């Protein structure tokens, strides 16, 4: 009969250590993200950003194209592909519904593609990672050879974003997004950072895929001006 209390005691100790480890990893993960927030401009600045515009250049199918994004807090956004000065594709979300336009034809899009937008509250992702109502985060490991901290951010829908922060600058160097329900993932590398006003922002990305890498260079970015609600209307 003495065996049962002993087993219960061991189980309690193991459970307590597991919970403590989880709590410790969560705290450490958030501490690293908070340092990343400070490195890019500070929490006050990031919280103050209510609209964000960016224009980037890349090469698609051998052609020079531009990508244009517009965002307005809490969760409105649009993505446009510009070719030879003309918008050939547009996808946008008005806060409730997602749409797209191809060659001038507008239509309601597959809403599955926009479901992650419903939970958005912030434009800057690091603020969302620190919000427990949106993400659960935990420190995973430090790769001393690559000098990267790895943090796992799990969204409410079960999708996972693995974040890799530089151990010295605390700037985000890589993110790997996983969608277990679809069995898919994507990898984005941040190659360079540049100052835009008071904001330090990734200015050169590499999008990795099975079809090959695509390098995207930021050519313009501004915040809190030039964007209005009408930009996201159908």
100 and 109 Cβ atoms separated by less than 8 Å: yes
Q: What is the mean pLDDT of residues 211-222?
A: 94
Q: Residues 6 or more apart from 129 whose CB is under 8 A from it?
A: 33, 135, 137, 151, 153, 163
Count of C-beta atoms within a 10 Å radius of residue 121: 12
Q: For residues 115 and 59, which has the higher predicted lDDT (pLDDT)?
A: 59
- pLDDT, tens only, 68-116: 999 999 999 999 999 999 999 999 999 999 999 988 889 999 998 888 8
Supply the pLDDT for residue 112. 86
24, 94, 156, 171, 177 from 186: Cα distances, Å:
28, 25, 19, 19, 5
Q: What is the pTM of this model?
A: 0.86
């Amino acid at each position: 009969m003495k065996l049962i209390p002993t087993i219960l005691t061991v189980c309690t100790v193991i459970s307590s250590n597991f919970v403590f480890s989880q709590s410790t990893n969560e705290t450490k993960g958030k501490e690293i993200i908070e340092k990343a927030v400070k490195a890019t401009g500070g929490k006050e600045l990031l919280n103050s950003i209510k609209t964000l515009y960016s224009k980037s250049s890349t090469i698609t199918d051998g052609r020079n194209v531009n990508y244009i994004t517009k965002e307005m807090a809490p969760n409105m956004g649009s993505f446009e592909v510009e070719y030879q000065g003309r918008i050939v594709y547009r996808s946008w979300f008005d806060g409730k519904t997602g749409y797209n336009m191809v060659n001038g034809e507008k239509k309601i899009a597959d809403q599955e593609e926009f479901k992650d937008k419903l939970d958005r509250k912030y434009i800057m992702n690091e603020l969302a990672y620190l919000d427990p109502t949106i993400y659960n985060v935990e420190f995973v490991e430090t790769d001393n050879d690559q000098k990267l901290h790895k943090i796992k951010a799990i969204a409410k829908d079960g999708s996972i974003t693995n974040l890799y922060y530089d151990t010295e600058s605390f700037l985000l160097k890589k993110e790997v997004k996983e969608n277990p329900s679809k069995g898919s993932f994507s990898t984005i590398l941040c190659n360079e950072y540049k100052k835009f006003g008071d904001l330090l922002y990734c200015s050169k990305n590499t999008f990795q895929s099975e079809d090959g890498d695509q390098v995207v260079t930021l050519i313009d970015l501004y915040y809190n001006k030039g964007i209005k609600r009408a930009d996201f209307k159908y």
